[in-house]
Amino acid sequence: MKTSLSALLPGQSGTVTNVGGAAGIRHRLLEMGLTVGTAVQLIRTAPFGGPIELELRGYRLSMRRTEAEHILVEGR
């Protein structure tokens, strides 16, 4: 089942299947390592719509939920 990265719950993981958004946002997400086929796990979310923390490629990354909405993942 494909869903946006922002819809995952803490502890859930998936594999990136698509990175969308405007060219500038998409380019920045790809530079951060969020490429198709990358395994990601949602570590935690900040309250009240704040940023989310992910683990991918051996490091942790925090990003805005609005950016995470542009990334589709398939559950593992």
User: pLDDT tens, 3-25?
Assistant: 999 999 999 999 999 999 899 99
**CA geometry: angle 18, 43, 76, nearest 5 deg:** 50
pLDDT bucket at 75, cuts 50 / 70 / 90: confident
Name all domains of the chain by residue range, CATH numbers in brackets.
2-75 (2.30.30.90)
**Is the pLDDT at 76 greater than 80, yes or no?**
no
Assess contact for 60 and 53: CB atoms under 8 A. Answer: yes
- Which two tokens mark 46? 């900040």
